[in-house]
């Protein structure tokens, strides 16, 4: 049983404060990778909750690898996102207050191979053509990136 499932067994659907990572993956053309989540149907960023003993960076790399099959090297800190606006109630009733460390990165190796238990679709979007149905707690992360993208270079591949 995973960590969150163990917590849910103890507290039910009541709100949990959960640390996690989201990764704004940007290709060489400046497009942003989004995934359509199977649990909500919304578009979102690759990422997820931390496992005990993991760093935020390790969480980001693991989640990108698990969700879409890509490896990433260099992560650039985008920001830390928390507060009441990051509350989310899942369709099945579980409630969370997300504490998200967000990074930008470029894919380094691998082919996109979505884990269809979590991800229904993967697409790169032009920054001016993002879908309207982005998961609410991730909209501010995308907006932060879009606000900064004209003021700094996009992340570079390491190597």
Could you give the CA distance from residue 23 to residue 141 in angstroms, rounded to a whole number? 9
Could you give the CA distance from residue 85 to residue 98 in angstroms, rounded to a whole number? 9
pLDDT tens for 39-64 read 889 999 999 999 999 999 999 999 99
pLDDT tens for 73-108 read 899 999 999 999 999 998 899 999 999 999 999 988
| Candidates 3.40.50.300, 3.90.79.10, 3.90.1150.10, 1.10.3720.10; CATH matching 3-149 | 3.90.79.10
Helix (H, G, I), strand (E, B) or coil at 72: strand
What pLDDT does 111 receive?
87
Which residues face 89 on adjacent strands? 95
- Entry pTM: 0.88
Helix (H, G, I), strand (E, B) or coil at 2: coil
Domain boundaries, the chain: 3-149
pLDDT tens for 132-156 read 999 999 999 999 999 988 655 555 5
Asked if residues 107 and 27 have their Cβ atoms less than 8 Å apart, the reply is yes
């Amino acid at each position: 049983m995973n960590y969150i499932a163990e917590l849910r067994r103890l507290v039910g659907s009541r709100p949990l404060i959960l640390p996690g990572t989201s990764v704004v993956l940007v290709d060489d053309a400046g497009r942003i990778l989004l995934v359509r989540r199977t649990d909500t149907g919304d578009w979102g960023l690759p990422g997820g909750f931390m496992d005990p003993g993991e760093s935020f960076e390790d969480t980001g790399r693991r989640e990108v690898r698990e969700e879409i099959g890509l490896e990433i090297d260099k992560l650039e800190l985008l920001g830390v996102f928390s507060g009441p606006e990051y509350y989310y109630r899942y369709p099945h009733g579980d409630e969370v207050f997300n504490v998200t460390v967000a990074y930008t990165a470029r894919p380094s190796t691998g082919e996109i191979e979505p884990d269809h238990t979590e991800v229904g679709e993967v697409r790169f979007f032009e920054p001016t053509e993002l879908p309207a149905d982005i998961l609410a707690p991730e909209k501010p992360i995308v907006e932060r990136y879009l606000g900064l993208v004209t003021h700094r270079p996009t992340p570079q591949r390491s190597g």
